[in-house]
Each structure stands twice: as C-alpha cells, then as structure tokens.
Structure 1
Amino acid sequence: MAVATERQDPGPAAAGVRRGGAPPGPRRPAPGPAGRARLTGAAPYLLLLPALAATALLLGWPLVKDGLLSFQNLNMRQLIQHLTEWNGVDNYRETLTSEDFWRVTLRSVIFTAVNVVLIMLLGTLVGLLLARLGSKMRLLLSVGLVLAWAMPTIAATTVFQWLFATRFGVVNWVLDALGWHSMAHYNWTGGQFSTFFVITVLIVWQSIPFVAINLYAATTTIPGELYEAAALDGAGGWKSFTSVTFPFLKPFLLATTFLEVIWVFKAFAQVFAINEGGPDRLTETLPVYAFIEGVGNQHYGMGAAISLLTIAVLLALTSYYLRIVLRQEEDEL
C-alpha cells in the first residue's frame, strides 16, 4: 500500500544552492519613515527636472547669448571677420536715450491695451453664447472657432492682406456695394491708424477662440443649483450673471487677461507681415523695432539690447498686473 508523502518546499535558500548559485544574502531593509518622507519631498523636484532642463536649454541659453551680444558692437564686418568688439553698455545707453525707442514703447503699450480689451470683451460674449446654444449649434460654432485658432499666423495674415487689398479686396468691394464708393480703392496700409486697424482685427480674430472656448469650459463647472436659487430670489439675467456667473469666472478672466497681455505684446508676425512696420515705420511695435534695428540695419548688438529691454518692459507690465490681481484677492479675503 503506497503511502503519500508530503512534498517539502526546499525554500529559496535551498533552491539557490541546488541551481549552483550562492545562497541569497540578507534582504535590504525598507526605508524608514524619515527616508520615505525625503523621497516624497524630492519627488516633485525630480519630476520637474526634465522640464527645467529643457527650458534652460531652449530658452535660457539663447537668452544668455542674447545678453552677451547686447554688450558687443556687432555688424556685418565683425560677423564676417569673426571679431568680438565689446562696447559695454553703449547699446543700452543709445537705445534708452533715443526718442524712437520710447515712442515705440508707448505705441506698443497702447496697442496691447486696445487689443486685450477687445479680445476679452468679445471672447467673453462668444463664450457665454456657447453656453446658451443648443448642442448642434454649439458644436458648429466650436468647430469654426477651433479652425480659426488653428490657422497658422502667416496664412491668416495672407488671407487678411487679400481681404483688405486695395484693388481686388473683398472689404473694399463690400463697402463700395453698400454705397461707400470712396472706399472702392482705399489703401488700408497707407496710413498708421488704418494699418493698425487691420492688424487689430487680425489679432482679435485669432485670439477670440482661445478665450471663448476656455470660458465656455469654465461655465460648465458652475453648479446649476446656484442659478435656480438666484431665480427663486427673483434675479434676472443680468443679476444672475453678476452674482453667480461672474464670481466663478473671475479667476479665469484674470488668468486669461494675463496670458493675452503677453501674447499680444510680443506679437511679431502679424505686425511685420502686414506692412513691415510701415508706413514710414509708424506701426512698429517693440518686437518689430528690435528686428529692424538688429537684422534690417545689421546692428545685431543693438537689436539684442532692444530685445532684452522689450522683455524688461513686458515683465514690468505683467508684474504690475499681477500686483493688482493679488491686491484684489486680498481684499476679497
């Protein structure tokens, strides 16, 4: 009669010896609470390290090179002969004592303010319209906004150049057909304000989709019970907007305004492609002014200095805006 015997597990040590290897050593102890706390505290910085490295490589190093270039006298002769002529702060001194620089700076600030106000106003209205439309109309309008937003800048600029062309432009043809016969061959890029009008329409048209779509997304987070409570209290449409919608959208509006200030202030392709800063350099903003002085006039050190001063002006504007935002938040608390 066969007797069933229980098979014994040789264990990991015996298995290791049977395979011809040395028995495994003692296990490393798990990190204690202090070690786990250090790892947890360092995890965010380790995750940010690749992004910080890419930012330092792609943005930091060109900025350092631009800073070094701004202290040099570099034109075509030095560039061809590979000469490095340091001139200290002469480029900055010449720029800051130039009336043209301050005139362009004021023009850039006004241009940015007008565009941002129009973008935020129209973008908010379109975003609220998206929230009120039915699903099919909302989808149709959203597709149109995305297509306008996705169009490359130079392609959009080319379309607007065709729309506002002097002889065969659609805008002049429509105005002539509506009875403004003096606009049949109007040169939209022949004057300062008309050129800025075309550029402003282009930039606002490109920026509205970003504001509208994000604002609509923000409206979807507002609880419907708040609107029901406001309606029970007798609040109309405007009262519901000021008491319910606007407080929820205010952080979004502040953040979006901050982003739009940066985007409009540094706009280069639209301004340069429409008329290259003309006529008579009257529509130059700071980015275009830096390009023309640096590349156009082949004074690269001067262009680098103007570029860094442009960044300083932008930082001053954004810091002032952020200070206002933080002060408002403190007052609300």
Structure 2
Amino acid sequence: MTAADTQAAGPPVPVPDAPEKTGKSPSTQDAAGPRPKKRRTKGELLPYLLILPAILAIAAVYVYPLAKTVIMSFQDLGRAALWGNAEAEWVGFEQFTVILGDADFWWVVVRTIVFMTVCVVLTMGLGLLIALMMLRLSTWVRLTLTVALVAAWSMPLMVAASVFRWLSDSDYGLINTLLADITGNEDKWLGHNWFLDPVQGFGIIMVLVVWGAIPFVVITLYAALTQVPKELEEAAALDGASAFGVYRFVTWPVIKPVFIMVATLSVIWDFNVFGQIWLLRGNKPEPEYETLGLYSFSKAFESTSFSQGSAIALITVLLLSGVAVYYLRQLIKTGEVE
C-alpha cells in the first residue's frame, strides 16, 4: 500500500481495549454493589419452630433449677429465707470452703467414684458378653431374651427395689435360704443381715443398679454388632485369625464409638445413683452408704443447710462436666464418620 492509498483511506479507527479476564461476564461486572443477603423462608425456619417447645421445656426443667442452685450455693440460706420470711445473706465462697475442708466430703467422693467404677465395669462387661451371645442364639430365643430385657428395663424402680429388699431380707430372703441350703450352714446364713457391713450392702445395691442398666447396654451393643460386615469377619477367619483376633481387629473398631458413648452415659448415671440406695435402706441411709447425691440431700434437708447442699450439688455438676464434654465430642466424631 502506497502513501496515497493510506491518505485516501482516512485516519485509523481506534480499537477499544479488550476487557480484563476476571472469570465473569461483562453483565456481571457492570452490576454494582454487594449481593443482597438471602432471607430465610418459612420452610427454613420451620425446624427451629418445631423444636422450640422442647427447648423451652428443657430450659424450664433444667436451666432454671441449675441457675437457682448456683445462686443458693453463694448464700447462707436458712428456713426463714427459704420461705421468703427473711433475706438470704450472700457469703461468697464460704460454703465451698467449708465443704472442701471437710474430710467426710472427700470420703464420700472416693466412695462415689469406687461405686460408680465397679458398676460401670460390671454393666459394660456383662452387657457386651450378653450382646455377643445374642448373635449366636436362634431367632426365637433371641426374641424371648429381648422381651425379658425390655420387661426388666421397664420395671419401676420402686418395684425393683422392693424385690431386691425381699431377696436380701435377713429373715425371709431368698439369698440367705439358698446359701444355707448350698453350704449346709444354716446358723451362719439364716438371719444374716447383708447391710450391717457396708461392703456387703453395697454389693446388693450394685447388683440392683447393674440389673437395671444391663438391658439398655445389651440392646444398644447388639444393634451395633449387627452393623459389623460379615464378609470382613469371614475374610479374617479365612486368613487364619482366631476368634479373639476377629473380634479385636474387625468387630471392635466398628462398635467402639457406640461402646464408648454407652460407657460414658453409664458413668453419668451411676455417679448420680440415688433412688436405689434410698429405697434399699428404708428411706434413711446410714452415713456409710452416702454417695454425693445422698450427701447433698442429707446436708440440705436433714441438717437444714440448704446452701451447703446446693454447693455439693454444684460440685457434682462440675465433676461430671468433663464426662459430659467427652460424651459430646464422641457424638460429634461419630457424626463426622457417618
């Protein structure tokens, strides 16, 4: 092209700059301002509205009494203040100082921990063995056993305690009669009072606690055992693993989360045992039979030291808070795995 042709064509037409590549279309880039927040619809709020009554009921049953207990533990609350005839005096940490400095309190704590540990070990051990046994039972035997477990679980505590009081009665109890017949020593066993010795008395109480807790443990662990893949167990057995090896490396990893959660619940329940001891000791347990729940009740209503009873109850809550946090962590981990 010559210079004359260039002049004839006219001046060059400017070319617009190409838009920057930002991953968005020009129409999107032209839209100014942040996106408006998405509003919740009625459908999204419905689940929260449905559980609102349950939350309010829990708050009324648990939150208010707990808050009241905390307030009372920092006061010196007597009968007059309890009935509203006088103003309760604020004493700060005085109640906690008195309780933590009392040697009887620490004996009660040790007794409670030992009692809880034995009950949990027996409950989880026997419950796991029965659940494993149920896998090898025929269908009708397993159904019969399940019905018996549910019936035992649904029995009211007062009825169960009455049965165990009759079984361990010193004069007409079935336990003494059987031991006298088996050993042939009627002088030793007929008329034997199991509750004169706290060790023997707690043995009877532990049997009642374990008997009442085993149905829940067995049914829950059996449900977990049914989720173990049979092909993995068969493959491990074909590879030469023993029965214990199959259980350890195949069965246990599957049921471990459920076992830990049930054991954690058992710790909380057995730590707070009250009714079994109260009923078996005729509504007036001796000091040798007091656990933390009974010790708190005794301080509050027998010694009319309501603030000390509240402080002991609050200490019990703090002792169990670590167990509760561990239980919630296990629930979260199980949900993440699933």
State TM-score, norm by structure 1: 0.81
2:266 equivalent in structure 1: 260
- Which of 291, 297, 316 aligns to 1:285? It is 291
Pairwise CA RMSD of aligned residues?
2.7
Residue correspondence of structure 1 range 134-153 to structure 2 within 5 A: 134-153=138-157
1:217 aligns with 2:223: yes
Residue correspondence of structure 1 range 42-81 to structure 2 within 5 A: 45-80=48-83
Q: Distance in 2 between matches of 1:220 and 1:114?
A: 28
1:250 equivalent in structure 2: 256
1:230–1:39 CA distance, 2 compared to 1 (3 A): farther
**Residue identity (%):** 38
Q: Distance in 1 between matches of 2:271 and 2:226?
A: 30
After the TM superposition, which of the residue ranges 34-43 and 158-167 deviates more from structure 2?
A: 34-43
2:11 equivalent in structure 1: none
1:176 equivalent in structure 2: 180
State TM-score, norm by structure 2: 0.80
- Which of 252, 267, 278 aligns to 1:272? It is 278
CA contact (8 A) 1:188 1:194 kept: yes
1:276–1:304 CA distance, 2 compared to 1 (3 A): farther
After the TM superposition, which of the residue ranges 155-164 and 221-230 deviates more from structure 2?
A: 221-230
Q: Distance in 1 between matches of 2:64 and 2:84?
A: 24
CA contact (8 A) 1:189 1:279 kept: no
Q: Report the CA distance between 1:36 and its aligned residue.
A: 6.4
1:303 aligns with 2:309: yes
- Counterpart of 1:140, as a letter, is T
1:85 aligns with 2:88: yes
Number of equivalenced pairs: 297
Which structure has the greater CA radius of gyration? 2
CA contact (8 A) 1:191 1:279 kept: no
Q: Distance in 2 between matches of 1:33 and 1:112?
A: 56
Q: Report the CA distance between 1:103 and its aligned residue.
A: 1.1
Q: Report the CA distance between 1:314 and its aligned residue.
A: 1.5
Q: Secondary structure at the match of 2:90?
A: coil
Q: Distance in 2 between matches of 1:38 and 1:257?
A: 41
Q: Distance in 2 between matches of 1:83 and 1:250?
A: 54
Q: Report the CA distance between 1:105 and its aligned residue.
A: 0.8
1:284–1:161 CA distance, 2 compared to 1 (3 A): same
2:29 equivalent in structure 1: none
Structure 1 segments unaligned to the other structure (5+ residues): 1-31
After the TM superposition, which of the residue ranges 235-244 and 142-151 deviates more from structure 2?
A: 235-244
Residue correspondence of structure 1 range 65-214 to structure 2 within 5 A: 65-80=68-83, 82-89=85-92, 90-179=94-183, 180-181=185-186, 182-214=188-220
- Counterpart of 1:71, as a letter, is F
Structure 2 segments unaligned to the other structure (5+ residues): 1-34
1:252–1:321 CA distance, 2 compared to 1 (3 A): closer
Q: Distance in 2 between matches of 1:33 and 1:185?
A: 82
- Counterpart of 2:52, as a letter, is L
Q: Deviations over 1:175-232 (max 9, x none)?
A: 0010143122110111110111011010011111111011111111122211221222
Q: Report the CA distance between 1:75 and its aligned residue.
A: 2.8
After the TM superposition, which of the residue ranges 98-107 and 234-243 deviates more from structure 2?
A: 234-243
